[in-house]
Amino acid sequence: MVESARGAQVNSREVVLGNVRKALDRAAGLLPTTLTAPRLKIPILDRGRYTTLFGQNFEKLGGKSFFVREPREVAPILSELLQGKRAVASNAPFLAACGITGLPQVQSGFTDREALRAACVTADVGITSADYALAETGTLVMLSSPEEPRLISLLPPVHIAVFPQSRMLANLDELLAVLPNPAEQTSSMVLITGPSRTADIEQILVRGVHGPGEIYAVIV
């Protein structure tokens, strides 16, 4: 079965590519004409303002943001947010540095897929760091890695991202300038811009349809 399927694939590959070449009247192996440089527009802004701008945009989307000066100020905020809740935290070193993994409500240190998934299914809150944040759109950028699995920011109904201000970028274009080829770094990069939402029924906005309906950003 697989063999024949593979056989068919090889065949279809030639058929499809052949049809493309025929339609374009191009021979195999021809290189394209050169392409102009990518258009990336990075505003020149006072970096100090990024955090404020991020906060404004993040809140406009329905998120809530906190700014603290020191890592040690993070844990009290989280304790507050986590009252009466159970949370799963990622293995990002920054979370440990902020003392989050030590909080009693927080489970962390997962290395096994099934265990992680089971914990995420029942947790009220998922806590992650963020690799970057985009000021212009209030976006969190998450690169999945052994420290930062995908499901923590996805399965629990609440997502809290804690990250240092140094990860703040101006916009999408700056992210693409910093990471010209994200595939070299990670198998999955996700841009998160606001809580999960839908407007599929009567165009009425509802939050938290599949992903978290509440998101928080704590910027150190």
Partner 1 sequence: MTGQPSETINQTLGDARLQLAIYSATNRLMTHRAGAVRADLLPDYQELRTEANQLKKHTIEHLDHYLELFEKNVIAHGGKVVYCSDSQEVADFVLGLAKERGAHLIVKSKSMTTEEIHFNERLEKHGLEAVETDLGEYILQLAHQRPYHIVAPALHLTRYDVAEIFSKNLGVENEVVIEKQTKIARAALREKFLHADIGVTGANFLVADSGAVVVVENEGNARLTTSAPKIHITVAGIEKLIPRAQDLGVFLTLLGRSATGQPLTVYTSFLSGPRRNGEIDGPDEFYVVLLDNGRTKLLADPEKRQSLYCIRCGACLNHCPVYRKIGGHNYPWVYSGPIGAIITPQFHGVLKDPWLPFASSLCGACAEVCPVKIEIPKLLLKLRSEVTDAQRRQGVGGVERLAFGIWAWVMTHPRIYLMLARIGGIFLPLLPKVGPLGKWASQREVPKLAKTSFHQWWKAREVPK
Find where tokens 């955090």 sit. Answer: 51
Contact 87, 204 (CB under 8 A): no
Question: Nearer to partner 1 by C-beta: 134 or 220?
Answer: 134
Question: Nearer to partner 1 by C-beta: 44 or 183?
Answer: 183
Alpha-carbon dihedral 136, 73, 158, 120, rounded to 10 degrees: 120
Contact 128, 142 (CB under 8 A): yes
Shortest distance in whole angstroms from residue 182 CB to partner 1: 5
Shortest distance in whole angstroms from residue 48 CB to partner 1: 22
Question: Nearer to partner 1 by C-beta: 8 or 72?
Answer: 8
Shortest distance in whole angstroms from residue 117 CB to partner 1: 7
Find where tokens 């902020």 sit. Answer: 98
Question: Nearer to partner 1 by C-beta: 18 or 76?
Answer: 18
Shortest distance in whole angstroms from residue 28 CB to partner 1: 7
Shortest distance in whole angstroms from residue 72 CB to partner 1: 28
Question: Nearer to partner 1 by C-beta: 74 or 95?
Answer: 95
Contact 143, 182 (CB under 8 A): yes
Q: What DSSP string describes 16-60?
A: HHHHHHHHHT--TTPPPPP-PPP--------HHHHHHHHHHHHHH
